[in-house]
Amino acid sequence: MSEGANILLVDDEPGMLRYIRTLLEVDEHKVRTASTGEEAVEHVEKGLSPDLVLLDLLMPGIDGLQTLEKLRRLKPGLKVVMLSCVNDTRKVVQAMRLGAVDYLTKPFQKAELDAVIGQCINATGKGESYAGEVEELCDDVFFVAASPAMKKIRAQAALVANVEIPVLLLGESGTGKEVLARLIHKLSPRAHRTFLKVNCAAVPGDLLESELFGYEAGAFTGATHAKPGKFELCNKGTILLDEIGEMPALLQAKLLHVLQDQTFSRLGSRTMVKVDVRILAATNIDIPEALANKRLREDLYYRLNAFTMSLPPLRERKEEIPILLKHFMSRMSESYARAPLPLSGPLMEACLRHSWPGNLRELSNFIKRYLVLGDETLAAAELQPRPDGGGGQHADSRAATAGAESRGGLKSLSRTAKDEAEAEAISRALEETNWNRKQAALLLKISYKALLYKIRQYGIAQSRSTHRLSAGA
């Protein structure tokens, strides 16, 4: 809990102003008050630089949203928490978009106020929210916010978690969209309810509808008994629709209906089912291109886009790399019953220089290989830059073999042989299916996302009839 923070308190009700000021001064915060938005703006214009602003939403003159906008224009990094006696979803979303970091509904208890201040201000009373600690969500799932971008996302997640609106999560593959979805669920009033993830790309289109909405007995050949879908199983909880851009257009229309009134019918049924489900959606597709090509319905996009959160790639938040490396090492050494391996200075520097095109997934796999092989030299060599500027997770097959032979490393030779065999099998499956990646994934008995990752990992190109291992992931 922060002590001695400078807080600007803005509220037009004298009684509420005195009450909140008392709560703050008990913890030795230095409080400046203002009874109007204009007065608050004037304070900041004259040089006041508070660590936090507690701002009432409904005030005469310029209201809280207008005041927030003016304050953020004067000081873009200013942390503002909105206060209101009305839980207005539309205004909360507007406040988030204008840069508010949290929201409190009056009347609130001191513990609620303390929690918000504790999240917004670190132990020094200054600086960014969240110092970068690992936040456990569930088994083997954790969230780290050490960079300014991820601290902002953590603050947004805390705010949007309490507002019952759909959230669209954007970002490259492997950036942690599912982790962010689980964080939103954990911070929401639905935290004690079910969280389910459905990978829309991993399930064939003709099966996805029954997977989501269930079916009645006799709905299709083999349907011997009724089965509820994910939406029914997730009633009162949160559902994450991963790779939403891969959902067939007809199914997108049905999903739109669910978003509008939370009702649907099972396959083979005329009865409507009513559910209460919080919907989160994630994708790594180019949204404008998907809309232009009709791959993603425009009306569905705008329905999902009540609030959008974009996760930056790992190369843009390198402050998190040391934390992630240590945490993955600790977790995996425990899983494999091995002693944790050291992350030396040179190895850490190589990790910080690497661009991590596979993001968190690539970093996790890197630690896994290092732990299993136990060779720091080999681990560092994987990260060496290529002539084209990329990182070298997998060298060209001949170079890798030659390097392994020169070191006399049987482990490296076996790893290279495994990579070659895996890439060859993927290339054959792609050729046999005429580069239909979903069919190839089914043929290989791996997920669609895993296949996409491996195609990029091994540099397999459609124009080639044979594979060639690339030097980068």
Is 402 in the same domain as 387? no
- Whole-angstrom distance, CA of residue 211 vs CA of residue 345: 48
Residues 86 and 10 in one domain: yes
306 and 402 belong to one structural domain: no
What CA–CA distances, in Å, run from 409 to 289, 340, 378, 394, 443?
47, 22, 10, 16, 33
Pair 292, 148 in one domain: yes
Number of domains observed in the structure of the chain: 4
- 3 state SS of 114: helix
Residue 215 domain flag: yes
Number of separate helices (H) and strands (E) present in the chain? 20, 14
**Is the same domain home to 293 and 154?**
yes
The upper half-sphere exposure of residue 187, i.e. CA atoms within 13 Å in the direction of its Cβ, equals 24
Confirm whether 189 is domain-assigned.
yes
Dist. CA 344–CA 326, nearest whole Å: 11
CA-derived radius of gyration, the chain: 26
Q: What is the 3-state secondary structure (H, E, C) of 330-382?
A: HHHHHHCCCCCCCCCHHHHHHHHHCCCCCHHHHHHHHHHHHHHHCCHHHHHHH
- Name 241's bridge partners: 198, 281
Looking at the fold, whether 97 and 62 belong to one and the same domain comes out as yes
- Write down which residue in 344, 372, 393 finishes a domain: 393
Rounded to the nearest 10 degrees, the angle between the axes of helix 37-45 and helix 64-74 is 10
| Count, residues in the chain | 473
pLDDT digits (tens, 9 = 90+) for 34-48: 999 999 999 999 999
Q: Whole-prediction pTM value?
A: 0.65
Q: For residue 330, what is the domain's CATH number?
A: 1.10.8.60
Tell me: do 302 and 251 sit in the same domain.
yes
List 412's β-bridge partners, or say none: none
Q: What is the largest CA-CA distance in the chain?
A: 79
Q: Which residue has the tokens 């049905």?
A: 254
Residue type, 218: G
245 CB burial (10 A radius; 0-12, 13-18, 19+): buried
Q: Find residue 33's DSSP bridge partners.
A: 9
Asked whether residue 262 is domain-assigned, the answer is yes
Is there a single domain that holds both residue 245 and residue 150? yes
Domain co-membership, 173 together with 305: yes
Rounded Cα gap, residues 112 and 125, in angstroms: 18
pLDDT at 45: 93
Same domain assignment for residues 327 and 428: no
Q: What is the pLDDT of residues 251-309, one digit of tens each?
A: 999 999 899 889 999 988 889 999 999 999 999 998 999 899 888 999 999 999 889 99
Predicted pLDDT of residue 400? 38
Separation of CA 416 from chain center: 33
Distance, in Å, from the CA atom of 247 to the CA atom of 27, rounded to the nearest integer, reads: 52
Query: What is the amino acid identity at position 460?
Result: I
**CA 405 to chain CA centroid, nearest Å:** 42
Kindly state whether residues 172 and 239 are assigned to the same domain. yes
Asked whether residue 10 is domain-assigned, the answer is yes
Domain span at residue 216 reads 136-310
Residue 352 located in a structural domain: yes
In a domain, 1, yes or no: no
Beta strands in 244-393 (DSSP E): 263-265, 272-274, 278-283, 307-310
Asked if residue 109 is part of any domain, the answer here is yes
The tokens of 148 are what?
Answer: 């300014």
Residues lower than pLDDT 70 in the chain: 1-3, 86-87, 122-133, 385-418, 462-473
Which of 180, 141, 189, 146 lies closest to 328 in space, CA to CA?
141
> 406-440, pLDDT tens digit by residue?
444 544 455 566 677 778 888 888 888 888 888 88
Phi, psi of 128 (to 5 degrees): -85, 155
Residue 95 lies in a domain: yes
Helix (H) or strand (E) holding 135: strand 134-138
Is residue 36 located within the same domain as residue 80? yes
